[in-house]
Amino acid sequence: MKTFYKIMPLIVLATIFSLGFSSCSDDDDNNGNTDNKKYVPSLITIDPGTAGEQTLTITYDKDYRVASIVCFTPDENETQTDIFEYNTTGNLVKWTQKSSVGNVDDKDPYAITYTYKTDSIIQKDSHDTYGWAVNSANFAEKVVRYYELPEYKDETVFEYDTNKRLVKETNTSVSGTGTNIYYNSYEYDNKTGISTHVNITMWQAVLLNLNDDLYSFLLAKTNNIAKISSEEDGDVDTMTYEYDENGYPTKMTAKDADETTIWKFEYTEVK
């Protein structure tokens, strides 16, 4: 799937992971946690079939907010590190990226800061400024990219269902050549979400997913994404899962018109 636009220069990542728990098929009616423990994803490996496997390692702070995400691509011996910093109230205030390869700009830390207003969040880096409209429950409602020229406009609006799941994002871009409108729509299963116990606001999950759909697993706060439809390119992605005995996904098979990608997940217990 393609995202509408990149919030910042980001090396394209891909990842997924294997879990040592026994698994059951997607058809099994097993959505319960048999050991009453909570888990968060800690390692993801992804195998796109046509390219080399990648790994995504996720660490957390003491409150199980995402502290860092490290993507390693063995074929290119490349590591990209994302570090997230929070203020005393738990709000994301800084996102720093660094790559082990590339030019000087790629290797130097690239920082994005977030400033909180009454009902909005201002995102700034060395190139761009974005304004996020966020409701009182920290759900992203809209993001606007600011341009110096008034005839340029780029905004994305987010919609949720009654289960607080992202179901649609609509992007409108206006330039001197006209107006383009694209959307992604999301459908879900009814199983335990991969990131059910990750301490992350829907605003931050949407922010990361909009930047790169590698981070789509963070949208799985309630249930797991089963289908993504994109009006931009007519693409439809379908996802099927295998689960462990506690109802957590251990494997995702993602298919589109061109390829099949296998994601595998490992978890860490929430203490």
Beta bridge partners of 123: 114, 130
Per-residue pLDDT at 81: 94
Helix (H, G, I), strand (E, B) or coil at 233: coil
Per-residue pLDDT at 34: 60
Contacts of 78 (CB under 8 A, 6+ apart): 11, 72, 99, 100, 101
Per-residue pLDDT at 102: 59
Per-residue pLDDT at 107: 52
pLDDT band at residue 19 under the 50/70/90 scheme: very low
pLDDT digits (tens, 9 = 90+) for 131-175: 999 999 999 999 999 887 778 899 999 999 999 999 999 999 999
pLDDT at 18 over 80: no
**Distance (Å, rounded) from C-alpha 172 to C-alpha 225?**
24
pLDDT at 27 over 50: no
DSSP 8-state class, residue 143? E
Contacts of 44 (CB under 8 A, 6+ apart): 15, 16, 17, 55, 56, 58, 217, 263, 264, 265, 266
pLDDT at 10 over 80: no
At 203, give phi and psi (nearest 5°): -60, -50
Predicted structure pTM score: 0.82
- CB 101 within 8 Å of CB 78: yes
Percent of the chain past pLDDT 90, that is, above it, reads 65
Per-residue pLDDT at 232: 72
pLDDT band at residue 108 under the 50/70/90 scheme: low
pLDDT band at residue 33 under the 50/70/90 scheme: low
Per-residue pLDDT at 29: 42
Per-residue pLDDT at 218: 97
Per-residue pLDDT at 238: 97
- CB 104 within 8 Å of CB 117: no
**Choices 3.40.50, 1.10.150, 1.10.10, 2.40.160: CATH for 23-269:** 2.40.160
Per-residue pLDDT at 213: 82
pLDDT at 1 over 50: no
Burial of 112-138, coded b for 16+ CB within 10 Å and e otherwise, reads bebeeeeeebebebeeeebbbbbeeee
